[in-house]
Amino acid sequence: MTFKVVIPARYASSRLPGKPLLDIAGKPMVVRVAEQACASGAEEIVVATDHEQIREAVLSYGYEAVMTRADHASGTDRIAEVAQHQGWSDDAIVVNVQGDEPLIDPLLIGEVAHNLSSHPAASMATACHRLHDTPSILNPNIVKVVLDQQGYALYFSRAPIPYPRDAFAANQDLPEDMPVYRHIGIYAYRAGFLQAYAALMPSAIEHFESLEQLRVLWHGYKISVQVTAKAPASGVDTEADLAYVRSVVINSENLPL
């Protein structure tokens, strides 16, 4: 089974402008992400960007970069443009690895690609891990997913789903046998579906939840979900995240402070 990785890397960021270029132990963050993707066994890695400086940085480290339009509504739309630009076949598996995830586990990238390959009825695949605490299930910044018996997504939400009515009414913790899963924001697609997705009308539930994957379910497509035992590594959204990731990389590579 072969797969490709696309790394969307926009220059604009409200909290960290130029985020893909931020230095992490001597290398731009987007290059650190590409290195993790390379370790996953991907046959092709492409950074999709809207900024010439990011493209130049990626090329200088020997990775491929494609300039994309600046007005894409989502990372998925940007990846669809790359798939079309590269001329990938409809059945090619493409994994979306976010450009601000320099600590992403390479094994997870491969697992999500394999999950899609082994589920021909699915148009997409993603991942989740088990939640065990009430504050997390109540946190709207943590997206939850409910699965059917075959491991396909029934729904994604920022609300607590499934809702443990009796436990919450009694001010108790989550029941130990209740399957509550946190969605991990990594996606695999078939290249043919990427083109179909770009033509799908947005849905109301997608708008209200601010979750683009709900467009896929609303239109009747299946999303297979890989359940992993490990929580995802920290991404970079704030200065504190950046400091943490830098410390992890410095320690892992035994670099001087």
Q: What is the pLDDT at residue 104? A: 95
Flag whether 18 is in a domain.
Answer: yes
pTM for this one?
A: 0.93
By the 8 A CB rule, do 174 and 133 touch? yes
Same domain for 223 and 132? yes
Same domain membership, residue 158 and residue 60: no
Which residue segment(s) compose the domain that 13 sits in? 1-104
Residues above pLDDT 90, as percent of the chain: 76
17 with 97, same domain: the answer is yes
145, 207: one domain: yes
Q: In angstroms, rounded to a whole number, what is the distance separating the alpha carbons of residues 47 and 35? A: 12
Contact between 96 and 188 (Cβ < 8 Å): yes
Residue 42, domain member (yes or no)? yes
Residue 121 lies in a domain: no
Does 180 share its domain with 131?
yes
Instruction: List the CATH number of the domain containing 89.
Output: 3.90.550.10
Asked if residue 237 belongs to a domain, the reply is no
- Does residue 144 share a domain with residue 208? yes
Least confident stretch, 32-41, 75-84, 117-126, 209-218: 75-84
| Residue 112 domain flag | no
Does residue 255 carry a pLDDT above 70? no
Does residue 88 form part of some domain?
yes
What confidence score (pLDDT) does residue 178 get? 87
Same domain, 90 and 173: no
- Please tell me whether residues 66 and 10 are part of one structural domain: yes
In a domain, 116, yes or no: no
Residue 215, domain member (yes or no): yes
Average model confidence (pLDDT) for the chain? 93
Residues 43 and 93 grouped into a single domain: yes
Contact 137, 174 (CB under 8 A): yes
83 shares its domain with 138: no
pLDDT at 218: 97
Number of structural domains the chain divides into:
2
Query: Is the predicted pLDDT of residue 101 greater than 90, yes or no?
Result: yes
Over 80: is that where the pLDDT of 235 sits? yes
Average pLDDT over residues 174-182: 88
Is residue 106 over pLDDT 80?
A: yes
93 and 12, same domain (yes or no): yes
Give 13-27 pLDDT, tens digit per residue. Answer: 767 889 999 999 999
Regarding predicted confidence, which is higher, 134 or 37?
Answer: 37
pLDDT at 123: 96
pLDDT of residue 21: 96
The pLDDT assigned to 207 comes to 93
How many residues does this entry show for the chain? 257
Are residues 223 and 176 part of one domain? yes
Q: Between residues 146 and 202, which one has the greater pLDDT?
A: 146
